A and B are shown apart, each in its own frame.
Chain A
Amino acid sequence: MHELSIAMSLVERASEEAERRGGCRVEAVYLRLGPLSGVVEDALRFSWDLATEGTPAAGARLEIERVPLVVRCPRCAAERELPSVQLFRCPACGGPVDEVVSGRELELRALEISDPITHREEGSVAGEDRRGP
């Protein structure tokens, strides 16, 4: 499945970046996604758990910002949001448009990373009393 491989690339990059920044776990991944990115949000979400399993991003939230499809209309000399990828016509003047200003995004915008928290043992457990760093 295509979205699974995208999800895996996302997880790989997130894990790499988290490690580089001295963090350990990825709590959330912020993605900007446009309708011309070739990636469907639902399919990506569906693949997410599988892609994050066993990685530093296991359990991470996938926060998706939907980027609108915006084109530049040369006749109106203005940017217009298109309601559909199937009709590249200016919603104001009806003429054809082909200059895409936004909508192709498949961007890892940000990560929420944290360090592991060590817990104090509860109850009567024989042995060590662990403390955090």
Chain B
Amino acid sequence: MPARIVEVREGVLKKNDLLARELRARFGAAGVAVVNLVSSPGSGKTALLERTLSALSGRFRAGALVGDLATDNDARRLAATGAPVRQITTGTVCHLDAEMVGRALDGWDLAGLDLLFLENVGNLVCPSSYDLGESLRAVLFSVTEGEDKPLKYPTIYNSADLAVLTKVDLAEAVGFDRAAAREAVDRVRPGLEILETSARTGEGIDAWLDRLTGLLAGGRDEERPAAGRASA
């Protein structure tokens, strides 16, 4: 019998996209704004999140899911802020996907949260393809990573809603050129908002918190994924 061609016309990541859509609806129904933090390993996601959870404590109800290949060190560190935190250990998987997030949220009353942070696995490549149902995707890069970081990883910047420059207290020590970094972001993703922060000194943290709490005041579109997220 000869071979026949059948049309499929479906995104390869359709399963993840569908689960992400369900998550997005679930988050919307529970009234929780979800932030997906992506970056290279060591950019300061956990430190920023630690500062953030402490700052929000008592004012807003925030929680976090942390993804790492191994250890629950980050989750324990974040839990010390008093916020509810769960760890996802992926084993060898280099990114979080919607199924992992869904499973990790089992038994968690999302209506009891205003903000949920998803600290992705440290990786600037793979997370770009996986919608997690988030309201906002923030890509972090630190002043120790080089001003041209965005040029090296255009795909993830293209999928992000916000860029956060971290460890700015070290900028002078490493001779970091902030203008060059802003230009690099603008080349791969014109108009992407950039916040400069230092989790250590507190610089820029208020603006970051405003951006986050702004998500709660209806500053997000729950019906469709944020710019950059494909559903082929």
Spell out A's residues near B (CB within 8 Å).
2, 5-6, 9-10, 13, 17, 21, 23, 27-28, 30-31, 36-39, 85-89, 96-98, 100, 104-115, 117
Contact = CB atoms under 8 A, between A and B. Distances in A.
A6 B128 CA distance: 13
Interface centre among A9, A10, A88, A89 (most CB of B within 10 A): A88
Given A111-B6, A114-B2, A106 B187 contact: no
A39 B129 CA distance: 8
A115 B1 contact: yes
Contacts of B11: 106-108
Contacts of A13: 8, 10, 12, 14
B107 to A, nearest CB: 28
Interface in B1-22: 1-15
Contacts of B159: 36
SS class of chain B's interface: helix, strand, loop or mixed? mixed
Contacts, number: 110
Contacts of B128: 38
Contacts of A28: 3
A102 B186 CA distance: 20
Given A88-B187, A96-B186, A106 B13 contact: yes
B129 A113 contact: no
B190 interface: yes
Interface in B80-115: 93-95
A36 B155 contact: yes
Given A2-B94, A110-B5, A114-B4, A104 B187 contact: no
B4 A107 contact: no
Contacts of A113: 3-4, 6
Given A88-B188, A110-B7, 14 more contacts: A2-B125, A27-B3, A36-B230, A37-B230, A38-B128, A85-B158, A85-B188, A88-B187, A107-B232, A108-B9, A109-B8, A111-B5, A114-B1, A114-B2
Interface residue range, chain B? 35 or more
Contacts of A30: 5
B46 to A, nearest CB: 23
B12 A110 contact: no
Contacts of B6: 17, 21, 23, 110-113
B232 A86 contact: no
Contact of B9 (A39, A98, A107): A107
Given A88-B188, A88-B190, A9 B4 contact: no
A28 B4 CA distance: 10
